[in-house]
Structure 1
Amino acid sequence: MMQNSAGVSIIVCCYNSAKRLPKTLFHLAKQNITKGIEVIIVDNNSSDDTAEVAKSLWEELNNPFPLRIAFEAQPGLTKAREKGIEVALYDYLIFCDDDNWLDENYAINTMQLFDADEEIMILGGQGNPVFESDKPFWFENFYQSYAVGKQEVKSGFVSLVYGAGLGIRKTILKNPKFYAIPFFLNDRVGTRLSSGGDSETCLRVKLLGGKIFYSEKLTFYHFLTTNRLTWKYLQNLHIGFSYSFVPLHVYDLVLNGSKLPEFYWLKKSFLYFARTIKYSFLHFHNIIKNKEGDVKTIHIKSWMILGFEFLRYNKQIKKMYKDISTLKFDD
């Protein structure tokens, strides 16, 4: 299929999304642009009628601009996005989750921001939460875990943006060095929580010399279902964050030009185990009770995982550091 760089492809990756799609598509249909835009629904091996619902809903919305269905049999958000990227017509891409309701100017603002600075390779915006049920009392302490809220005090260049609503140039993804080494992390597979893929994409783009920009002009609503607003879900979410930490930490070392000391993995492991032991004594009762809303309980569990993760990676970190260093852009 012939590609045209002048436009934006909105990629919506779906796994059993039939019930979530109506409002998502309703907001997409209201985009203040009708030319040079398309929506790609990637059906990631759903067992419901996601594809049929998407086509039917789009017809009911009078087909404001092209919507296409792509199928990806291999499960996982990463694979679904790769399929969307493969079939996209345009150079500017937006990753819209099936529970993201984009502002009507999201697409046009994305195009204008990319057009204004050719060095910007990734864009991020601000998600505003919409709760299916009552907001948990602890939510304000953890809102960024849900990809909502300001990512910076004001618009400007940043190191990372969250994946919901992320804009990216297809050209950077076609850079041979982008996939010169395999990615270390993946995103969610089906309903299983895992994370880090979006952050690794951002860090890899930075290594290649690209800029990442957060804009307050890019806003969307993020619909949060009741099952995601439980203390147990939040704990599992942070467990996923913890398991992705080590590779992302090594990216940061490379980006900052930091050397990798001998037995670095062992020193970091001891550090996190010592921190776990210290604060476990101080917060023993809250840990035993698994007290809902206790920030330190979340931190202690994460530190313990990090201690084990640095041990698990051990000498592999040295090879990881060397491999990631090969991606670094030479000024």
Structure 2
Amino acid sequence: MNEDYQLLKIFSGRANPSLATKIAQYVGIPLGQATISSFPDGETFVKFNENIRGRDVFIVQPTCPPTNHNLMELLIMIDAAKRASAARVTAVIPFYGYARQDRKDQPRVSITAKLVANLLVAAGANRVLAMDLHAQQIQGFFDIPVDHLTAVPVFYKYLETNSLLDLVVVSPDVGGIKMASTYSQLLGKGLALVVKKRIDAYHTEADFVVGDVQGKDVLIVDDLTETAGTVVSAANILKKKGARRVFAGISHAVLNQIGINRLRDSQLEALITTNSVPVPMVEGIRLTVLDVAPLLGEAIKRIHTGMSVTSLFEVDGKKINL
């Protein structure tokens, strides 16, 4: 083991152990051993099975469905690590659940993204490492350092080696225009926007397209899909406007059965996503899952050794502006 990493420990909750294993392999250390189980009434029990006193501990746990269960498990792991005298505890949250509840957009509702941030700090987290938060301002909800990565370099490398004809990058809604613009600038491709309206939590409706997609390959980019309503309605209207083929690049594919059914019946040629959360391989959907373990692993190495993570926001000499 590299001497620089003798005090480094990486542990995994039960949300995405395969990703944690790949991260540890990239760093070059064994994945830490912990016992995580549930009592008959559903309570979570956590015990670290090795000495972590004075160690730099990283706990990998996306808060994907079952969201509340995985969040509570992460909080308990952080608390157990602090009580075991870990020198520093970093919560590695590839997917940050509750991120869509980041503002008070109607009367008498919670800003739950802020509540979750408070809970993580109260549990004892000293630092957070996240990827493609739904809203940039969530970083400001924390009173501890937050390293916010993006999967853009991972998607960029894939897209550069899988050329698409006369590509146009599309944002499926106004809120995603900055991410789409980033992809457009890096790839040197055109940019378009789908204007939509949300009917309810499960349904959206695309109204019109701003930009030229006639006869072109189209890449819809977004941070998250669950019910696939936004991306599917965008794909449908893009095809109506003459797009040749429609692809989707989504950082977090937190798919439920509604989303899977919609994708099967959609105009999408393929869905490209990452392993930030477990992604089931489903018949009838052309799915490509990109590995973000090297990205997260490199960030962990640099955080542990006190190095800058700025270079992780550059690809082929081009800076990524989030």
Could you say whether these structures have the same fold, taking a TM-score greater than 0.5 normalized by the shorter chain as the test? Answer: no
Higher strand share: 2
Q: Which range, TM-score by smaller chain?
A: under 0.3
Which structure carries more helix by proportion? 1
